């Protein structure tokens, strides 16, 4: 993975002998008479040299025949759904998803003529009851946001294949370093590339990886809706990918170290990280994943939201901010950030407590992180 992250998709030598692939700022290129519209070299059509280079790098990291970059993670996810579903179609989805995905399915899918049923991804025995003759796809997350659960992904693939559904997984929290879902049999993998793939909290992007035919369907949807990635952002993403493996391994280590410390602290009531041996998904996560990820969540033993906010304010290394996957440790309360749109009743339904704290571990020294959290627990 380290070698793939650095060299995959690179031409040797690059244009004009370059080692780092250049930014092609031009939006329009010479056309060929009789050329198909979607094959014209044009920035919005995702066919410029910079874009093709980035797509090759993304595909290699996921072990995919093809990939596509988009202007955001939500652009990637919604473009996939637009490509798979039409009026009257039905989607199965995990009952705990990123807040933006949930809001899209709740607020906009019906306007498009779609229906959606949420299922408990940890209860395969209940999935068949949610099927309809119009069901076309099954959407899950590798590691759920923000509860940090790991669904039985092999069972998801088998169920989707058995019922002729397209299986889609959001692999943002795991990254290709910890899991390549296509190797399990998933049809499409989506990422918010803003997070681990870029890793430096300085761009917004998304991507989709999968088979050539499916990715071409998604590309044509993106071309028409306009969710194309800017060439400068694409350059930064391609650069960030080179350090993906070393960053994620450090984040895996830091999250597990911090989770183990927090589990034994008297002020902490609950810690969720799949690397802990008492996590409900630890056994199958250990079998599926190469690493347990850089994310964890926790709840304090007493004080509710007031205590949680005081603790967050007392942290000095970790920064209170809503994103994740960067080199710096970020903390947030999902009830007021990533899952605010669900409302209190929706969050309660899916087990997202108002005082739940989500932690995205960076690449700082693990001992420094533990010390920072220990001091904040004492002071907060």
Paired with 137 in beta bridges are 91, 166
**Does the annotation count 170 as an active-site position?**
yes
Question: Domains in the chain, please, with CATH?
Answer: 2-241 (3.40.640.10), 245-379 (3.90.1150.10)
End-to-end CA, the chain? 40
Q: Specify the pLDDT at position 10.
A: 79
Which of 21, 24, 42, 98 is flagged as catalytic? 98
- The tens-digit pLDDT sequence of the chain (380 residues) is 899 999 888 777 888 888 899 999 998 898 888 888 888 999 999 999 999 999 999 999 999 999 999 999 999 999 999 999 999 999 999 998 998 999 999 889 989 999 999 999 999 999 999 999 999 999 999 999 999 999 999 999 999 999 999 999 999 999 999 999 999 999 999 999 999 999 999 999 999 999 999 999 999 999 999 999 999 999 999 999 999 999 999 999 999 999 999 999 999 999 999 999 999 999 999 999 999 999 999 999 999 999 999 999 999 999 999 999 999 999 999 998 888 878 888 888 888 899 999 999 999 999 999 999 999 999 86
Beta bridge pairs of residue 297: 272, 358
242 is known as an active-site residue: no
Q: Which pLDDT does position 186 carry in this prediction?
A: 98
pLDDT of residue 306: 96
- Report whether 170 contacts 148 (CB < 8 A): no
Largest CA distance in the chain: 72
- 98 belongs to the catalytic site: yes
Query: 271: helix, coil or strand?
Result: strand
Is the model's pTM score more than 0.75?
Answer: yes
Exactly one of 41, 57, 180, 195 is catalytic; name it. 195
The answer to whether 44 is a known catalytic residue is: yes
Q: What share of the chain is helix, strand, coil (3-state, %, to 5)?
A: 45, 15, 40
Q: What is the pLDDT of residue 168?
A: 98
Could you tell me how far CA 155 lies from the centroid of its own chain?
20
Q: In what order do the strands lie in the sheet with 330-332?
A: 268-272, 295-300, 357-360, 330-332, 319-320
Q: How many whole angstroms separate alpha carbon 335 and alpha carbon 265?
A: 24
The answer to whether 271 touches 259, Cβ cutoff 8 Å, is yes
pLDDT at 346: 84
Residue of 89, 170, 187, 372 with catalytic role = 170
């Amino acid at each position: 993975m380290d070698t793939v992250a650095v060299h995959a998709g690179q031409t040797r030598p690059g244009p004009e002998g370059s080692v780092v692939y250049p930014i092609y700022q031009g939006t329009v290129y010479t056309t060929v008479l009789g050329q198909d519209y979607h094959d014209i070299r044009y920035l919005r059509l995702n066919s410029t040299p910079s874009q093709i280079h980035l797509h090759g790098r993304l595909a290699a990291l996921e072990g995919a025949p093809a990939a596509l970059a988009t202007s955001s993670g939500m652009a990637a996810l919604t473009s996939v759904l637009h490509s798979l579903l039409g009026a009257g179609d039905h989607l199965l989805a995990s009952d705990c998803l990123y807040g933006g995905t949930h809001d899209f399915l709740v607020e906009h899918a019906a306007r498009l003529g779609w229906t959606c049923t949420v299922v408990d991804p940890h209860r395969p025995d209940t999935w068949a009851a949610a099927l309809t003759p119009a069901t076309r796809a099954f959407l899950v997350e590798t590691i759920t946001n923000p509860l940090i659960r790991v669904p039985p992904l092999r069972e998801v693939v088998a169920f989707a294949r058995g019922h002729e559904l397209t299986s889609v997984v959001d692999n943002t929290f795991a990254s290709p370093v910890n899991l390549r879902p296509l190797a399990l049999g998933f049809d499409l993998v989506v990422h918010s590339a803003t997070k681990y793939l870029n890793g430096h909290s300085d761009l917004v992007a998304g991507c989709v990886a999968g088979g050539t035919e499916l990715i071409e369907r998604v590309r044509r949807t993106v071309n028409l809706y306009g969710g194309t990635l800017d060439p400068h952002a694409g350059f930064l993403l391609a650069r960030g990918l080179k350090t993906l493996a070393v960053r994620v391994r450090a984040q895996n280590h830091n999250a597990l170290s911090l989770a183990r410390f927090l589990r034994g602290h008297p002020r902490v009531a609950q810690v969720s990280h799949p690397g802990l041996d008492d996590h409900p998904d630890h056994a199958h996560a250990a079998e599926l994943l190469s690493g347990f990820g850089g994310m964890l969540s926790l709840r304090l033993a007493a004080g509710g939201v007031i205590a949680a906010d005081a603790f967050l304010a007392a942290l000095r290394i970790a920064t209170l901010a809503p994103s994740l996957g960067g080199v710096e440790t970020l903390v947030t309360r999902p009830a007021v950030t990533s899952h605010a749109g669900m409302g209190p009743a929706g969050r309660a339904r899916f087990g997202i407590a108002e005082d739940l704290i989500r932690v995205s571990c960076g690449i700082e020294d693990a001992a420094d992180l533990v010390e920072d959290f220990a001091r904040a627990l004492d002071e907060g």
